[in-house]
Amino acid sequence: MIEAIIFDFDGVIVDTETPDYTTWQGIFESYGVELERELWTGFIGGGSDEFDVYEHLEGLSGITVDRVELRRRMRAIFLEEIEQSPVLPGVLDYIECAKDMGLRVGLASSSSREWVEGHLGSRGILDRFDDIKGSDDVDMVKPSPELYLSSSRELGVCPGNAMAIEDSVKGVTAAKLAGLFCVAVPNPMTEGLDFSLADVRVRSLAHMPLQSLIDRANQDS
């Protein structure tokens, strides 16, 4: 029986994935080169140290970049766009529905807890989560199952009685390795990827009531 819902953050609660790519894409274009979408999407959902974007830019352009200045420039553009990004459709309804059903609500992200809590706080929903786990809480981020195992443990539920909501292949892999029922909700950056490992794929949380997913998970358990 499902006793907890555990959300990913980037791309599930707020679409940070699309602005992240488009911001870097614009920077690459300013150097006369292209940031390949297929390459970028392969790293979504994992740790920030998996792909050295500066090294890739230097390799394509043949120009040594000032990484500190480039990061400052990128972050200014990126954060301005993120601040205007709303909570994605269906998320707030799912949280409220889960609370009404007496379910625990957690969050497990490969991003830092500071990043996640800052954006949840600015949108007034930080206190809706019973537990938040980020990259600084574990030794290995997704696709390792450690974040989901840690979140389940903190929420006081068996992983098999928890549902993960994910937007990336790495996230789905992590959830399934941990033993959770996993719902894939691809964002515009990940919609073309293979989510066959997920138990269910939905276009948007706004198009599928939480109760329907819980009924499906309970039938499969």
**Catalytic sites, residue numbers:** 8, 10
Nearest-CA neighbor of 179 among 148, 150, 153?
148
Contact indicator for 31, 63 with CB cutoff of 8 Å: yes
Nearest-CA neighbor of 195 among 175, 178, 216, 179?
175
In whole angstroms, give the CA distance from residue 82 to residue 86. Answer: 8
Q: DSSP secondary-structure letter at 172?
A: H
Question: Which residues are registered as beta bridge partners of 183?
Answer: 165, 200
Tell me, letter by letter, the H, E, C secondary structure of 23-71: HHHHHHHHCCCCCCHHHHHCCCCCCCCCCCHHHHHHHHHCCCCCHHHHH
Is 18 strand, coil or helix? helix
Nearest-CA neighbor of 110 among 130, 136, 88, 87?
136
Contact indicator for 23, 77 with CB cutoff of 8 Å: yes
Q: DSSP secondary-structure letter at 186?
A: -
